[in-house]
Structures are given as C-alpha cells and as structure tokens.
C-alpha cells in the first residue's frame, strides 16, 4: 500500500492545530518545516508538543516524528478513537481553551463518544478563547451542524469544574447535517459574565457597570453576571454574547493582562473594551463571529453532498489561509459573494459527503 503524498508546509507552526485536524480528517500525512528556526529557542513550543501528545491519546496508529532540533514535524494520521474518562495535563503556557479549540473540529468523528478532562490554566492567555466562550458560542454552532442535540445523543458540553480543570464531552456522529445559515436577524438581547480571580470582587461590578453603560446605547435588554473566583493567578475578564431574533449568537471577550506593567488598566477599561469588541462583531454582521469562521467553513466542507451556505462578516486573515488549506486537503472551493446591502459575505460550497466510517461500523 502506497502512502499518500505529504501535505508539505515550509512556513513553520502557522495554523498548527488546524493543519493537524485537517490531516486527520482527510487522511493525508503532514510535513511541517522551518518551525521557528531563527529564534533563540527554535522548534516546537511545549504547548505544541503537548497538543501532539493529546492527539496521540485520542487516535490509534498515528505516527509523529520530530527532528532533533524540533524544527520539522512529520505526522501520519491514524484513526480517531474518542474514549471515556480520559485525562490529560496541559502546560500553563497556554490556556485550556487553546487545546479545546484544536479538538473541536475532530472530536465528533471518533469511533466512540469523547469524555475528556483537561487540567491546566483556565485564565485567558495570548488572547486564547476561554472554555466559557467556546461553550457559549462554538458549541451551539456545532449543534446546528447536527453534532448532538437530538434524542440519540446529547450536545457537546464544555464545563469548567474549577479554575484549572475543564470537562469536555462530545458525541460521535456518523455524518453532519446540511446547513443554510444566512438570516442574521436583529439583536434582541445581550448576556455576559464579568469574572475576577485574586482581584477585589468590587472590580467585577465596575467592569459590568462600564460595559452596560456602552451597550445600553444599542438596546435595553443587557444583563451581566459577576463572578469572583479563586485561582492561581490574578485575572479580570468579561465575556459577552448577543442573541438575535433568528437565534444567531455572536460573542466577544476581553481580559486584563496583569503582567503588562507598562499599561495599567482599570476595571472600567476592561468593561469598555469588551463592549467595544462585541459591538464590532455586531457591526460586521453575519451569522458566526470572527473566531468561529474557520470551524464553520470546515464543517461545511465535511457536510453532505449538497450546497451549504453561511453568511459571515469580514473574513479574517486566518480564515483566508484556512480556505486555501481546505481546498488543498479536500478539493473544496468556496464561492464568496459580497452582499452590498448588509456588507456581509455569503459563503457557499458543495460538501464532500464525509462519513465517519469508524462510527458507521459500530
């Protein structure tokens, strides 16, 4: 049996997690070169090597080869297994949300449902999405594609057990459902949570007050919960989600960086910045927010052999590179049409008809 040709990338660890996910789903081996060759500490970072160990835990038959300097990776995908009561410890150099975000494209295509407990840092680092953000926005998007949410299987769930432990469950599905997500509707309510850790609880109230002061200019139905918690490091952040009349969810979050001594931020600054980020997502329009674009388009590629459509706002640079990756791996080309009236982009493609053969055989 001949090995398929490697998907070769010479630009280092760009889209590291997404390329691994696409390799697993397409069955094409991966070759990544020039991983930070000119830096003082060349090669893979600890969190990237840890993510490879996590992939190895969830698959059977995957081959991972890293050269002596860590600047080159060869990955031959195996079969996705899923599994029950699995545990994995992540380094605190990246948030647990970073690892969860990398698992979301592949978690539903295992032989078995997935029950995974991750341990590490739940603080927002490097603008990583928080577990709460993924549960609030990305999980409902996955349900729209037919990932759980019916009588046969519960929907995926991301639950913060404590500040340092996150539980992730996801059902194994045979195939995705077709999607036509084009009606963004009108914003009818905004909900949010202001969280603090090792910072006076009054700070969360100040964050919420400043945030509502700006959002009330858009609509009156704004409610923000405050939550003061215990944890390893001081943090202050806010997560906001808007819901439209058609059930579209758009989210944004912002975290204070306590390590940045050159820029002192007041709780009011955190609230205003969080509100501004959400208002920017609403201004861009569309039915998915910027962070969810690449996942939504990937699930469209894997959908039934029928036309799938999603309306998005401005395409991020990350999403543009993701579209090129999908064309290379799956041969799927998207049709992008600009709607001048709403200043949004209508993305459509013909799905590849991906079927989870491991799940179909059980």
Same-domain status, 135 and 116: yes
Same domain, 134 and 55: no
- Tell me which of 359 and 53 has the higher pLDDT: 53
Domain region containing 194: 187-284
Per the prediction, the chain carries an average pLDDT of 91
Three-state secondary structure call for residue 306: coil
pTM: predicted TM-score of the whole model, two decimal places: 0.93
For the chain, the domain total comes to 4
- Which CATH number belongs to the domain containing residue 302 in this structure? 3.30.1370
Residues 271 and 205 in one domain: yes
Q: What pLDDT was estimated at residue 3? A: 60
Q: Which of 80, 105, 121 is the last residue of a domain?
A: 80
Inside any domain, residue 181: no
**Number of other residues whose CB lies within 10 A of the CB of residue 140:** 18
Asked whether 100 and 159 are in contact (CB, 8 A), the reply is no
High-pLDDT (> 70) share of the chain, %: 94
Do 119 and 98 share a domain, yes or no?
yes
pLDDT in tens, 21-63: 999 999 999 999 999 999 889 999 999 999 999 999 999 999 9
Bridge partners (DSSP) listed for residue 350 = 307
Q: Is residue 153 part of a domain?
A: yes
CATH classification at residue 208: 3.30.360.20
Q: pLDDT confidence of 362, banded at 50, 70, 90? A: very low
In a domain, 179, yes or no: no
- Whether residue 34 is contained in a domain is answered as yes
**Do 54 and 93 lie in a common domain?**
no
Answer yes or no: do 153 and 97 share one domain: yes
Q: What is the pLDDT of residues 234-271, one digit of tens each?
A: 788 899 999 999 999 999 999 887 666 556 789 999 99
- Per-residue model confidence (pLDDT) at position 319: 96
User: The domain spanning residue 14 has which CATH number?
Assistant: 3.30.110
Query: CA quadruple 98, 82, 2, 323: dihedral positive or negative?
Result: negative
pLDDT tens-digit profile of 255-265?
887 666 556 78
Task: Looking at the structure, tell me whether residues 307 and 342 fall in a common domain.
Answer: yes
What's residue 124's pLDDT? 62
Q: Which of 228, 254, 284 is the last residue of a domain?
A: 284
**Judgement on whether residues 111 and 151 belong to the same structural domain of the protein:** yes
Mark whether 86 and 168 lie in a shared domain. Answer: yes
Question: DSSP of 57-116, one letter per residue?
Answer: HHEES-EEEE-TTS--EEEE--EE--EEEEEEE--TTSBHHHHHHHHTTTGGGSSS-EEE
pLDDT(360) > 60: no
Asked if 120 and 100 sit in the same domain, the reply is yes
Task: State both tokens at 351.
Answer: 């799905």
180 in any annotated domain: no
Q: What is the pLDDT at residue 350?
A: 95
Let me know if residue 178 belongs to a domain.
Answer: no
pLDDT in tens, 156-196: 999 999 878 999 999 999 999 999 999 999 999 999 999 88
Mean of the pLDDT values across residues 79-85? 92
3-state secondary structure of 156: coil
Whether pLDDT at 288 is above 70 = yes
My answer on whether 129 and 139 are in the same domain is yes
pLDDT in tens, 203-213: 999 999 999 99
On the question of pLDDT at 328 being above 90, the answer is: yes
> Of 246, 264, 284, which residue is a domain's last?
284
Q: Is 253 strand, coil or helix?
A: strand
- Is the domain of 35 the same as that of 59? yes
The CATH code of the domain that includes 163 is: 3.65.10.20
């Amino acid at each position: 049996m001949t090995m398929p040709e490697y998907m070769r990338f010479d630009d280092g660890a760009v889209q590291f997690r997404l390329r691994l996910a696409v390799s697993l789903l397409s069955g094409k081996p991966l070759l990544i070169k020039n991983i930070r060759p000119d830096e003082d500490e060349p090669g893979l970072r600890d969190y990237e090597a840890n993510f490879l160990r996590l992939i190895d835990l969830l698959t059977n038959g995957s081959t991972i080869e890293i050269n002596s300097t860590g600047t080159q990776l060869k990955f031959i995908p195996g079969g996705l297994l899923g599994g029950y009561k699995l545990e994995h410890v992540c380094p605190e150099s990246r948030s647990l949300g970073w690892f969860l975000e990398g698992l979301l494209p592949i978690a539903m295509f295992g032989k078995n449902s997935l029950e995974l407990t991750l341990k590490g840092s739940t603080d927002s680092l490097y603008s990583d999405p928080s577990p709460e953000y993924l549960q609030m926005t990305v999980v409902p998007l996955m349900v729209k594609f037919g990932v759980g949410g019916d009588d046969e299987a519960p929907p995926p769930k991301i639950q913060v057990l404590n500040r340092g432990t996150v539980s992730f469950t996801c059902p194994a599905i045979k195939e995705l459902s077709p999607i036509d997500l084009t009606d963004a509707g009108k914003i009818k309510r905004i909900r949010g949570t202001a969280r603090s850790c090792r910072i006076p609880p009054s700070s969360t109230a100040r964050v919420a007050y400043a945030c509502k002061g700006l959002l009330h200019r858009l609509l009156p139905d704004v409610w923000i919960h405050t939550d003061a918690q215990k944890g390893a490091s001081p943090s202050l952040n806010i997560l906001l989600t808007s819901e439209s009349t058609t059930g579209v969810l758009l989210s944004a979050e912002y975290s204070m960086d306590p390590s940045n001594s050159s820029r002192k931020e007041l709780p009011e600054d955190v609230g205003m910045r969080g509100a501004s980020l959400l208002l920017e997502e609403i201004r861009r329009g569309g039915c998915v927010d910027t962070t969810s674009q690449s996942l939504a388009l990937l699930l469209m590629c894997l959908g039934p052999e029928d036309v799938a459509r999603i309306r998005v706002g401005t395409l991020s640079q990350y999403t543009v590179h993701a579209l090129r990756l999908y064309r290379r791996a799956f041969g799927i080309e998207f049709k992008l049409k600009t709607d001048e009236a709403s200043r949004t982009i209508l993305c459509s493609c013909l799905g590849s008809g991906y079927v989870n053969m491991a799940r179909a055989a059980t």
